[in-house]
């Protein structure tokens, strides 16, 4: 641990660096994220309605929608178009399921050179891994809470 004087100087430098470092405009980024994220969701809804129109059930239509969106994202990743979209949209293309698919496909493409097992096998989830782990973990916790509320008669 550095002494107090050094810590103070480091804090001051950090503050100064923050001042001189340009950042992306937050409102602009939010507008872009809203637009692109919204469009992706709109596309999803459109696919969903199509499926429902063919007489598929609610649940089956949902699965088809996710599957098709993932497929499109993976294809766009392969052609190196998705990164360009993400550069523009930021969280707008990161948060939807397509962003997740992009992170998996991009890792697979990059690490394929290191082999099927040590490359793709070990590293395909380098970016998506935390989302999978903590996603499952939190759903598990919520499951327990739901179960406790149920046996205590609250729900």
Q: Which residues does 24 contact at the CB level (< 8 Å), separation at least 6?
A: 90
User: With contacts defined by CB under 8 A, how many residues of the chain interact with other proteins?
Assistant: 39
Residue 106 in the binding site for other proteins (CB under 8 A):
yes
Using CB under 8 A, pick the residue from 95, 97, 111, 129 that binds other proteins. Answer: 111
Structure tokens at 43: 């596309």
Structure tokens at 151: 């046996």
- Residue 103, burial from CB neighbour count under 10 angstroms (0-12, 13-18, 19+): buried
Binding mask 66-105 for other proteins (x = CB under 8 A): -----------xx-x-xxxxxx--x--xx----x--xx-x
Residue 20 in the binding site for other proteins (CB under 8 A):
yes
Binding segment toward other proteins, per CB under 8 A, in 12-20, 43-51, 54-62, 138-146: 12-20
Torsions phi, psi for 95 (to 5 deg): -75, -40
- CB neighbours (10 Å) of residue 127? 15
Residue 15 in the binding site for other proteins (CB under 8 A):
no
Structure tokens at 30: 């939010």
Residues of this chain that interact with other proteins (CB under 8 A) are 2, 6-7, 9-10, 13-14, 16-17, 20-24, 29, 77-78, 80, 82-87, 90, 93-94, 99, 102-103, 105-107, 109-111, 113, 126-127
């Amino acid at each position: 641990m550095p002494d107090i004087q050094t810590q103070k100087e480091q804090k001051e430098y950090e503050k100064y660096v923050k001042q001189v470092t340009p950042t992306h405009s937050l409102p602009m980024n939010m507008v872009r994220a809203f637009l692109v994220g919204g469009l992706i969701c709109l596309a999803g809804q459109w696919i969903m309605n199509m499926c429902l129109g063919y007489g598929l059930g609610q649940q089956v239509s949902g699965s088809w929608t996710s599957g098709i969106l993932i497929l499109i994202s993976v294809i766009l990743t392969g052609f190196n178009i998705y990164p360009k979209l993400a550069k523009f949209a930021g969280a707008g293309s990161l948060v939807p399921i397509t962003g997740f698919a992009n992170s998996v496909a991009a890792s697979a493409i990059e690490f394929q050179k290191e082999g099927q097992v040590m490359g793709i096998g070990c590293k395909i989830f380098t970016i998506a891994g935390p989302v999978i782990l903590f996603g499952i973990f939190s759903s598990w916790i919520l499951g327990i809470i739901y179960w406790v509320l149920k046996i205590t008669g609250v729900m």
